[in-house]
A = this chain, B = another copy of it.
Amino acid sequence: MRILVANANTSAAITARCAEAARAAAAPGTEIVPATPRFGAAAISTRAENIVAGHALLELLAEHAGQVQAVVLAVSHDTALEGARQLMPCPVLGMTEAACLVACTTGARFGLVTLGSAETYRELVARHGLSGRLSGLEGVAMTPQQAVADPAAAKAMLRGAIGRLVEGGADSVILGGAALAGMAAELSAEDPQGPPVPLLDGIACGVKLAEALAGLGLPRPRAGSMAPPQGRVTSGLSGPLARLLAGG
């Protein structure tokens, strides 16, 4: 099985970090195909950059349509998720969506911690219809660059935030952000007792759910809001994307 791990940032370093986390989670026999978009922000941090990334992601995905059995969006805002799901002939998972769904299977409510402001994650969880299961958000006052420069400080701040989320009723904690891919495993391994609650990595959760969905082999819908595009007329788009929208 081939799973596309599609970054929405144009930074290849983030793609590499996500691919590594994906490979650590993949089953034997699953091949991880990392990909980076052609245009957009090096590291998305505003709403406007995220919108541009949606187009870039769809263009990227269209190039791989038919050559992968599932897609994991390696961008924590689950950018373009519903559109990608409608467009692609295979399952598509958002990394934060996947972590939220796994969180639902491990306890009553979950928390989420990220680098920088966490506010827009509240909207993301609401978009997924899961606000009732969110116990709290924590934003750690550190940029991804600072976290790379001083990992010990970053981990200390993350542990503090995780502790506050557990105090606030979290049965598991999602580490949000592509820049934190792999961090859940590191923090868990370094804690001699194990973490207080399961720490969830969106990439790992995405890969496992992608494998599960590919295994289920559900057909594409013919009706409803996810029926594939047919005969859409567009201009100015990449060839593969225009062809997928034209259908047939």
A46 x B229 contact (CB < 8 A): yes
Residue in contact with A225 in the complex, picked from B120, B129, B196, CB distance below 8 Å: B120
A108 is an interface residue with CB less than 8 A from chain B = yes
| Bound complex: CA A88 to CA B58 (Å) | 25
> How far apart sit A130 and B126, CA to CA, in the bound complex (Å)?
11
Which of A14-22, A152-160, A197-205 touches B?
A197-205
Q: Are A86 and B47 in contact (CB under 8 A)?
A: yes
Question: How many residues from A make CB contacts under 8 Å with B?
Answer: 93
| Closest-CB distance, A58 to chain B (whole angstroms) | 6
**Chain A residues near B (Cβ < 8 Å):** 10, 25, 27, 38-43, 45-52, 54-56, 58, 80, 82-87, 91, 93, 97, 101-102, 104-109, 117, 119-120, 122-123, 126-133, 166, 169-172, 188, 193-198, 200, 204-205, 208-209, 211-213, 215-216, 218-226, 229, 232-237, 241, 244-245
Instruction: Name 16 extra pairs, CB < 8 A, besides A108-B122, A208-B212.
Output: A27-B215, A41-B234, A42-B235, A48-B244, A51-B54, A97-B105, A102-B213, A108-B120, A119-B225, A129-B129, A129-B130, A172-B218, A196-B222, A196-B223, A205-B216, A211-B211
